[in-house]
Amino acid sequence: MWIDPYSVEHRRPLGSYLQLRARRAIRGLTDPLVTPIDTALSTAFVVGCGHSGTTLLAAKLGRLAGCHVPGWETNIFLPDQGLYWSKAAFSALIKTAETTAQKTILEKTPKHVHCSRRILHLLPRARFLVVTRNPLDNCASLLERFGSVEFAIERWNIDNSAALEVLQRTTALQLRYEDLVESPEQSFARAAEFIGLPWQSSALAAGETAFSRETSDANMVLRAEQVARAIEPNSNAWRKRLTSAQAATISSGTQKIAMQLGYL
């Protein structure tokens, strides 16, 4: 199997992987010719490993005045279509935000953690909110969805390696899931300030979010239900979800990057 960091199911057979790379290369030939998007709106992107709390952050911030959040993972900046398509697709989001007099677009696609250079090519002033989560809790959640400890460890390392690169930029802010659920008022206010949104404590209350809209994705239906609730502490849930052997394997397999992210 070959690793494709842009895909949720990142393991691919060689034939499929080569076809994907070839298609992306062809569609990306004109990328250097694509000019930045001209917009007065502020743009920010919530990125990170899947199941790390990205939906929670985007959902609550999206309730703030002046913020437009698409209620789905747009995948606009993945390299599959090329930057001409990305520019057209994101320009459509800008028009939607402008018609409702919003001042900030906040987009959430976890896999965009691998696309910061593509995003900055089109939106040089974009900011990034990078969500990280303790590898034990994060991998426990990934394990429930994908059924493999090894797959969960790979996914955590792949996405958080990219997170470290994004965090080297001055336009990026790390937000730990543990802080979001243990100290939500302080953590969400910090995120709002970073992307230029006025903070309102009411954003944290239970209630409908942009992700409450209908979707056919079962995983997003579950996430929408979760983020519509009031925030509750949820750290160290891995103790009830992992065996001691699984926990040891995850800790060993994620140690290097976890240390760089401040978890060890």
Q: Kindly list the domain boundaries of the chain, sorted by start residue.
A: 39-260
Query: Do 45 and 129 form a contact (C-beta atoms < 8 A)?
Result: yes
pLDDT given for residue 221 in this prediction: 75
pLDDT given for residue 108 in this prediction: 97
pLDDT given for residue 101 in this prediction: 87
DSSP conformation letters of 89-141: HHHHHHHHHHHTT-SEEEEE-GGGGG-HHHHHHH-TT-EEEEEE--HHHHHHH
Band of the pLDDT at 233, cuts 50, 70, 90? confident
The whole-number average pLDDT for the span 88-106 is 95
Neighbour tally for 187: CB within 10 Å: 20
CA distance 177 to 25: 35
The whole-number average pLDDT for the span 34-55 is 97
CA distance 159 to 27: 24
At the second CATH level, the architecture of 39-260 is: 3-Layer(aba) Sandwich (3.40)
| Stronger pLDDT, 90 or 169, i.e. the higher one | 90
Band of the pLDDT at 36, cuts 50, 70, 90? very high
Which of 203, 221, 204 minimizes the C-alpha distance to 212?
221
Q: Would you say residue 214 has pLDDT above 60?
A: no
CA distance 153 to 60: 28
Q: Which residues contact 167 (CB under 8 A, 6 or more apart)?
A: 130, 174
55 CB burial (10 A radius; 0-12, 13-18, 19+): buried
Q: Which residues contact 117 (CB under 8 A, 6 or more apart)?
A: none
Band of the pLDDT at 232, cuts 50, 70, 90? confident
The whole-number average pLDDT for the span 214-243 is 82
pTM of structure: 0.94
For 149-204, what is each residue's pLDDT tens digit? Answer: 999 999 999 999 999 999 998 799 999 999 999 999 999 999 999 999 999 999 99
pLDDT given for residue 113 in this prediction: 98
Place of tokens 């990125």: 47
Q: Would you say residue 215 has pLDDT above 90?
A: no
pLDDT given for residue 28 in this prediction: 95
Band of the pLDDT at 88, cuts 50, 70, 90? very high
pLDDT mean across residues, the chain: 94
pLDDT given for residue 216 in this prediction: 58
